């Protein structure tokens, strides 16, 4: 599922990241692993005098414990707040002075930082990025300020029905796997965390073997690799072995959770465990996502929204991740219609499992999916995100072959993954309804 939809649905920071489009790219991306383990990916594109520089760190909420939940997101907030060489606020001033932009995001499996600027400033933004990753001080005063900022983010997330039901769905669906923990963290943990604890988390996970630096834009690939090696080559810190988790046990039945809030309508979120990024069924699952719940021409929209007019909104999501994550269906409806909406969603899923999908549904889904992929990767930042995302949760080959793999998905493939993953008798369900 695309990174753009994932970041939108996670809202911190759910469908399919993807690959390759125009931008006057001169050759395939160059991938080099430095002696210290840091990976560099460079894609030349000379359509504009712009460069995007990203750093993907293999640490997210998946790598936390109950006692450190929220640490990855907290470090993301702190990384650019000052280094051993740059004072608080200096990085923001430097990037702004170049006319550039910088930002970051945290997810289940990674933390990502980016700077976009005119390509003639590549050396400068590389110096800023490498300084922050290697030498951030996590300034104690800024730590206390950002603690309050993060708590306010968590409050807003709880006040937003779509994100509240998303978090509740993952808590309901996962009993064992760390995806059950909210990406933004636990309010109680954030309130009690010390700066020294956070600094320990940072120095443990921010190591060259955990980092992929991605450069896309108006640069020479070989020259960019040379400069990244010069900036990062002296970084010597061992990367921890990434923990492997047993798969979440299959659902034995329906897992239901009903919560109440200050809402006037009902918000329903249903989820099924889907494939991990390295599972070849992820391609057919992405197509199934678009058949069922992406766009006004999807089966769920035609049946429930346009046909029976049972919902104000309905969509499906499937965030590709390192481990199996949820294929979900989100709907907004009147409280009295919740049971009926659940029933009709299950009926559509049974229809795909039993009768498969039509040629027209398959064509529409692939056309929409490919079109969105092209749009999402037409900028240097969009294409860099595609390369970095897949290099982090799967491999670079995934990014470069994704569209070809989508084109190969057949009606039989779509029906097969529906039978494998979407059991209408075993799923997780969260309903947010008005207070009684």
Q: Are residues 281 and 368 in the same domain?
A: yes
Of 161-170, 258-267, 308-317, give the lowest mean pLDDT range.
308-317
Is a pLDDT exceeding 90 seen at residue 13? no
Residue environment code for 397-412, b if the CB has 16+ CB neighbours within 10 A, otherwise e: ebbbebbebbeebebe
Q: Are residues 198 and 270 in the same domain?
A: no
Q: Are residues 412 and 274 in the same domain?
A: yes
Percentage of residues of the chain with pLDDT beyond 70: 94
Q: Which residue has the higher pLDDT, 210 or 1?
A: 210
Q: Which residue has the higher pLDDT, 19 or 302?
A: 302
Q: Which tokens is 27 given?
A: 């050759």
Q: Is the whole model's pTM more than 0.75, yes or no?
A: yes
Name the residue range of residue 222's domain: 3-232
> Which pLDDT belongs to residue 24?
52
Q: Answer for the pair 102, 94: CB distance below 8 angstroms, yes or no.
A: no
Rg of the chain, C-alpha, whole Å: 22
Q: Answer for the pair 69, 185: CB distance below 8 angstroms, yes or no.
A: yes
Q: What is the mean pLDDT of the chain?
A: 94
Residues recorded for the chain: 436
Q: Are residues 262 and 299 in the same domain?
A: yes
Q: Are residues 211 and 264 in the same domain?
A: no
Is a pLDDT exceeding 50 seen at residue 275? yes
The position carrying tokens 């029906």 is 415
Region 312-339: mean pLDDT is: 97
Is a pLDDT exceeding 90 seen at residue 329? yes
What distance in Å separates the CA atoms of residue 288 and residue 304, rounded to the nearest whole number? 17
Region 154-167: mean pLDDT is: 96
Residue 101 belongs to some domain of the structure: yes
> Which pLDDT belongs to residue 26?
58
Q: Are residues 210 and 346 in the same domain?
A: no
Q: How confident is the model at residue 84 (pLDDT cuts 50, 70, 90)?
A: very high
Residue 129 belongs to some domain of the structure: yes
Is a pLDDT exceeding 60 seen at residue 7? no
Q: Are residues 226 and 300 in the same domain?
A: no
Looking at the structure of the chain, the number of domains it has is 2
Q: Are residues 265 and 192 in the same domain?
A: no
Closest by CA to 25, choosing from 398, 383, 372, is 383
Tell me: the pLDDT tens digits for 23-47?
A: 455 589 999 999 999 999 999 999 9
Q: What CATH number corresponds to the domain at position 15?
A: 3.30.830.10
> Which pLDDT belongs to residue 167?
97
CA 226 to chain CA centroid, Å, is 30
Residue 248 belongs to some domain of the structure: no
Region 333-352: mean pLDDT is: 97
CB atoms within 10 A of CB 68: 20
Q: Are residues 293 and 197 in the same domain?
A: no
């Amino acid at each position: 599922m695309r990174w753009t939809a994932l970041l939108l649905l996670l809202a911190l920071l759910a469908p399919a990241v993807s690959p390759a489009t125009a931008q006057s790219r001169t050759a395939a991306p160059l991938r080099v692993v430095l002696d210290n383990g840091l990976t560099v990916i460079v894609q030349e594109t000379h359509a504009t005098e712009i460069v995007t520089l990203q750093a993907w760190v293999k640490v997210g909420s998946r790598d936390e414990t109950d006692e450190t939940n929220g640490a990855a997101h907290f470090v993301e907030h702190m990384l650019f707040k000052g280094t051993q060489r740059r004072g608080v606020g200096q990085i923001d001033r430097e990037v702004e002075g170049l006319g550039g932009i910088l930002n970051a995001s945290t997810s289940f499996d990674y933390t990502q930082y980016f700077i976009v600027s005119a390509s003639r400033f590549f050396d400068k933004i590389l110096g800023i990025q490498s300084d922050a990753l290697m030498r951030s001080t996590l300034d104690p005063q800024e730590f206390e300020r950002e603690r309050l900022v993060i708590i306010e983010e968590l409050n807003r997330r709880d006040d937003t029905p779509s994100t509240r039901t998303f978090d509740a769905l993952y808590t309901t669906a996962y009993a064992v796997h760390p995806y059950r923990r909210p990406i933004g963290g636990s309010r109680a943990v954030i309130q009690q965390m010390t700066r020294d604890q956070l600094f320990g988390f940072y120095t443990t996970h921010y190591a060259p073997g955990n980092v992929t630096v991605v450069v896309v834009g108006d640069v020479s690939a070989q020259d960019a690799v040379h400069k990244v090696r010069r900036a990062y080559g002296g970084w010597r810190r061992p990367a921890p072995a990434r923990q492997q988790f047993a798969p979440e046990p299959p659902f034995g039945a329906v897992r239901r959770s009903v919560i109440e809030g200050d809402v006037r309508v009902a918000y329903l979120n249903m989820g099924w465990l889907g494939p991990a990024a390295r599972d070849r069924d992820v391609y057919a699952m992405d197509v199934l996502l678009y058949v069922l719940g992406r766009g006004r021409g999807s089966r769920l929209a035609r049946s429930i929204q346009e046909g029976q007019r049972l919902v104000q909104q309905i969509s499906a999501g499937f965030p590709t991740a390192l481990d199996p994550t949820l294929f979900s269906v989100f709907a907004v409806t009147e409280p009295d219609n919740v049971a009926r909406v659940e029933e009709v969603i299950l009926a559509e899923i049974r229809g795909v499992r039993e009768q498969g999908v039509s040629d027209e549904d398959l064509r529409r889904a692939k056309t929409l999916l490919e079109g969105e992929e092209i749009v999402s990767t037409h900028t240097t930042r969009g294409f860099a995100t595609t390369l970095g995302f897949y290099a982090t949760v799967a491999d670079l080959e995934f990014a470069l072959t994704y569209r070809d793999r989508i084109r190969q998905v057949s009606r039989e493939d779509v029906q097969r993954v529906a039978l494998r993953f979407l059991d209408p008798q075993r799923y997780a369900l969260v309903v947010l309804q008005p207070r009684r």
